[in-house]
Amino acid sequence: MIPASFDYHRPSDMDGVIALLKEHGDDARVLAGGHSLIPMMKLRMAEVPHLIDLQSIESLRGISINGSRVTIGAMVTQHDIINHSELTKVAPIMRETSLQIADPQVRYMGTVGGNVANGDPGNDMPGLMQCLDATLHLVGPDGTREVAARDYYEAAYVTAREEDEVLTAISFDAPSGGYSYEKQKRKIGDYATAAAAVTIQTSGGKVSSASIAMTNLSDVPVWSEAAADALVGTACDADAIKAAVNAMLDDIDPTEDNRGPVAFKRHVAGIILTRAITRAWDRA
């Protein structure tokens, strides 16, 4: 648990970050809260000769809410989200999810950017971002661009982000209606055995639209359009939920690990989604 040696940089603006990324190429990586990257460096699974700390870049902090449009800076921590009352008012699912991430100590440091950008299938924010149809804002040597969260994740730790790009913020339209983030884990501080993000809008006592995404049940987050579609036009009765669960099960691809074998994970995924839908429907 002793990292290899590295140079530490702490630029004060984005231009400085981009310049360093350009200069060092593959040898450089940005550091946010460090709660994924530093363990990897200590295990020598990640070798980062140039570490670029984002802590001094004020433009990456801050949560802004413009009508229903929410923009969250990459360096906003999970702790910040939990304590932001305005955000909780417009998009309570952000707080509900953050409270189920890790433990308070980790949440003081762990950032939205690090959680979303990294492409770790265990992270909870990517699935949530897909559920919310969020936009990821990237900046690189060639300027800024936007990528939909639903297009961002390609494989474990492989994303649409180029090596020299930095995530500056995420934004999304706060969903109306019911919501739920439901997660099963082995203990506080553990990644999900299975987790589900669900939003539901209703009209006339029926589901008018819905969105469903699952966490840690594939090498990428799984936004299951078919599962959501199965709910539309129903009153979330048992059959509708069953149909949604079956559709979701077609989309996930869990692997066996210490949390348990595939059959168990698939079963729990179904239970967790059932509970998430039920709760979201009750809140809609």
Partner 1 sequence: MKDLNEDQVARSANLKGMGCSRKRVEDARFTQGKGNYVDDVKLPGMLHGDFVRSPYAHARIKSIDTSKAMAVDGVIAVLTAADLAPLNLHWMPTLAGDKQMVLADGKVLFQGQEVAFVVAKDRFIAADAVELVEVDYEELPVIVNPFEALQSDVVLREDIADQKEGAHGPRKHHNHIFTWEAGEEAATNDVIDNAEVVATETMYYHRTHPCPLETCGSVASMDKVNGKLTVWGTFQAPHVVRTVASLLSGIEEHNIRVISPDIGGGFGNKVGVYPGYVCSIVASIVTGKPVKWIEDRMENLMSTAFARDYWMTGKIAATKDGKITGLHCHVTADHGAFDACADPTKFPAGFMNICTGSYDIPTAYLAVDGVYTNKAPGGVSYRCSFRVTEAVYFIERMIEVLAIELNMDAAELRRINFIKKDQFPYQSALGWEYDSGDYHTAWDKALKAVDYEGLRKEQAERVEAFKRGETRSLMGIGLSFFTEIVGAGPVKNCDILGMGMFDSCEIRIHPTGSAIARLGTISQGQGHATTFAQILASEIGLPADSITIEEGDTDTAPYGLGTYGSRSTPVAGAATALAGRKIRAKAQMIAAYLLEVHDDDLEWDIDRFVVKGAPERFKTMKEIAYAAYNQAIPGVEPGLEAVSYYDPPNMTYPFGAYVCVMDIDVDTGVQTIRRFYALDDCGTRINPMIIEGQVHGGLTEALAVALGQEIAYDDMGNVKTGTLMDFFLPTAWEVPNYETDHTVTPSPHHPIGAKGVGESPHVGGVPCFSNAVNDAFRAFGNRHTHMPHDHWRIWQTANKLGLHG
Footprint of partner 1 (CB under 8 A): 1-2, 4-5, 44, 103, 184, 186-191, 193, 258-261, 263-264, 267-268, 271-272
User: String of b and e for 208-223 (b: at least 16 CB within 10 Å)?
Assistant: ebbbbbbbbbbbbbbb
Q: What's the CA angle centered on 177, arms 102 and 267, to 5 degrees?
A: 50
CB of 59 to partner 1, least distance (A): 33
Asked if 280 and 179 count as a contact pair (C-beta separation under 8 A), the reply is: yes
Which position among 115, 130, 135, 274 is part of the footprint of ligand FAD (CB under 6 A)?
A: 115
| Identity of the amino acid at 50 | H
d(CA 214, CA 40): 25
Q: How far is CA 284 from the centre of its chain?
A: 23
Question: Which one of ligand FAD, partner 1, none interacts with residue 164, CB within 5 to 8 A by kind?
Answer: none
Which range touches ligand FAD (CB under 6 A), out of 1-9, 99-107, 223-231, 258-266?
Answer: 99-107
Rg (CA), the chain: 19
d(CA 21, CA 229): 42
Chain residues 1-40 in contact with ligand FAD, contact rule CB under 6 A: 29-37
Nearer to partner 1, 27 or 154 (CB): 27
Helix (H, G, I), strand (E, B) or coil at 162: coil
Nearer to ligand FAD, 6 or 243 (CB): 6
Count the site residues for ligand FAD by CB under 6 A. 29
Nearest Cα to Cα of residue 77 among 126, 122, 114: 114
Question: Which one of partner 1, ligand FAD, none interacts with residue 193, CB within 5 to 8 A by kind?
Answer: partner 1
d(CA 69, CA 173): 5
CB of 93 to partner 1, least distance (A): 21
Nearer to ligand FAD, 49 or 189 (CB): 189
Nearer to ligand FAD, 32 or 228 (CB): 32
Question: Rule CB under 6 A: which residues touch ligand FAD?
Answer: 29-37, 74, 78, 101-102, 106, 109-111, 113-115, 117-118, 123-125, 166-167, 189, 191
